[in-house]
Amino acid sequence: GNSVTQMEGPVTLSEEAFLTINCTYTATGYPSLFWYVQYPGEGLQLLLKATKADDKGSNKGFEATYRKETTSFHLEKGSVQVSDSAVYFCALSAWNTGNQFYFGTGTSLTVIP
């Protein structure tokens, strides 16, 4: 079946630190992979996506590369800001399950000045 495993938080970093949030997946077929961000009290916003192996999604300084060989889609940012404090969800969508989304458990990030 399809599933997403995401590193547990919470993660606390100082401003300008390097961020990595690990995400691995299991899927039958060739899923599309996503990172969503949720700010306090709000819904999910798409941060970035990758639809095939070796694709790199990027947005707002965040990057993630679709690694088929390691079934991973780790989120990285070189220098975090206080405004990046949020919960980050890794997700996959697979055509063989009607493009239903499967979410990881979310990782809470707090960036301190």
Partner 1 sequence: GAVVSQHPSRVICKSGTSVKIECRSLDFQATTMFWYRQFPKKSLMLMATSNEGSKATYEQGVEKDKFLINHASLTLSTLTVTSAHPEDSSFYICSARGQANSYEQYFGPGTRLTVT
Give the residue, chosen from 3, 26, 28, 42, that forms a contact with partner 1 under the rule CB under 8 A: 42
DSSP string, 43-101: -EEEEEEE-STT-EEEETTEEEE-BTTTTB--EEESS--GGG-EEEEEEEEEGGGTTEE
Give the residue, chosen from 7, 13, 17, 44, that forms a contact with partner 1 under the rule CB under 8 A: 44
Measured from the CB atom, is 46 or 112 closer to partner 1? Answer: 46
Under the criterion CB under 8 A, does residue 101 sit at the interface with partner 1?
yes
List contacts with partner 1 (CB under 8 A). 32, 36, 41-46, 51, 89, 93, 95, 98-101, 103-106, 108
